[in-house]
Structure 1
């Protein structure tokens, strides 16, 4: 089947380079995406909006052979979910890796400092998010920061718009890397993730490590994605 891979913030299609061979060896067609303005740190991001990123995922869904397995990493899960809302009939299952869908009217991510209309990757340790980089050694962490691409501020601050309640009928696999499946279930039960709570069929999968399993344990992540494909 066609597997569309949506990167998280500060990343592009290259972040899936070590995952896609495993998917293709299993007979699937992998489509890692580079969203508008995220081609490189030097790319022109002026005027890029959340709709531009969602539209890019929708275009990939339209170009693929349905039904599609739609995979998002981190905040890319929210972008993927917004695209699914526009094309629920083309997605067989969604996989959220270390991320969650935002609800209608809420931004993808708030609270990060912007400069000149862009948001650079923060220093995770400095802001107390050590779990994000728990499985990256010093060299790997340096590479992550060196290749990080600033995100257009409107992508993460513009409220998400969701209109098609059929999105709740598309099954989801929630992959839990720097937190556990028990943690995520607890957040859902406490009412912190209402959009995820409304989805009728959610499978929770533990993948212990840091926030970037496509970089640190790509084969293990590929196995989880392949298991999700087998459920479609």
Structure 2
């Protein structure tokens, strides 16, 4: 199976460097992506928006033969869901790594813009539970490798048009939000979780036990567990 791996903000294809080998060893072919404009100055990235990131992922789907699995981390969840909407007949499963599917018109988040781009804001920007499982060495390594993203990308709205996306099997691999809380969102179905509630075939995998530290970047803190969860979702 072809597995397309889409990173979140400030990250590139190397994000998946400790996850992809286990997927390859299980017989799959991985395709980690770097999104357009990542690391580029404003002069080269000002016109790049979320639609361009979705289009780049769709282009990768079209380049490959047969069915694919889409995996998106964090803001990459918006990207893979947009790509799924564009090619619902080509996607065997979509996997959300510590993120939720966006609703039509939804965006990622708002971050400070510096010199026309959005640089990595530093670990102090995030709540402690989001980074609790990253040791100092890992934090330093990831921060050193983080790249700016085009200013429009986090606040651009995702456009969804094909409701067939909701019938494609989906897996949420969660490390910061307990499964029980996600199930409650599904039950209540607030507007921001409309797509989550509408998914027809959803599995939820909670990486952390209640007494374990959580984190929003498990591909760095526990890549083996992430790979295992992806493989269970596919098999």
Q: Say whether the fold is shared (TM-score over 0.5).
A: yes
Instruction: Tell me, in whole angstroms, the C-alpha distance in 2 between the residues paired with 1:77 and 1:62.
Output: 19
8 A contact 2:108–2:155 mirrored in 1 = yes
- Report whether the alignment pairs 1:183 with 2:184: no
8 A contact 1:97–1:176 mirrored in 2 = yes
Instruction: Tell me, in whole angstroms, the C-alpha distance in 2 between the residues paired with 1:48 and 1:10.
Output: 14
Q: CA deviation at 1:41?
A: 6.3
Q: CA deviation at 1:124?
A: 4.0
* Corresponding position of 1:122: 121
Q: CA deviation at 1:42?
A: 6.5
Please show how residues 1-232 of structure 1 align to structure 2 within 5 Å. Answer: 1-38=1-38, 40=39, 44-109=44-109, 111-127=110-126, 129-190=127-188, 191=190, 192-208=192-208, 209-230=214-235
Gaps of 5+ in 2: 209-213
Gaps of 5+ in 1: none
Q: Which deviates the most, 28-37 or 58-67? A: 58-67
Instruction: Tell me, in whole angstroms, the C-alpha distance in 2 between the residues paired with 1:23 and 1:36.
Output: 25
SS in 2 for 1:183: helix
Q: Map Cα deviations across residues 44-100 of structure 1 (whole Å, 9 max, x no partner).
A: 433222111111100111112221111000110111000110000000110000011
Instruction: Tell me, in whole angstroms, the C-alpha distance in 1 between the residues paired with 2:177 and 2:132.
Output: 11
Instruction: Tell me, in whole angstroms, the C-alpha distance in 2 between the residues paired with 1:112 and 1:80.
Output: 21
SS in 1 for 2:72: strand
Q: What root-mean-square deviation, in Å, do the aligned CA atoms of Structure 1 and Structure 2 show?
A: 1.6
8 A contact 1:108–1:160 mirrored in 2 = no
Q: Map Cα deviations across residues 109-153 of structure 1 (whole Å, 9 max, x no partner).
A: 2x32222332222334345x1111111111211122111111112
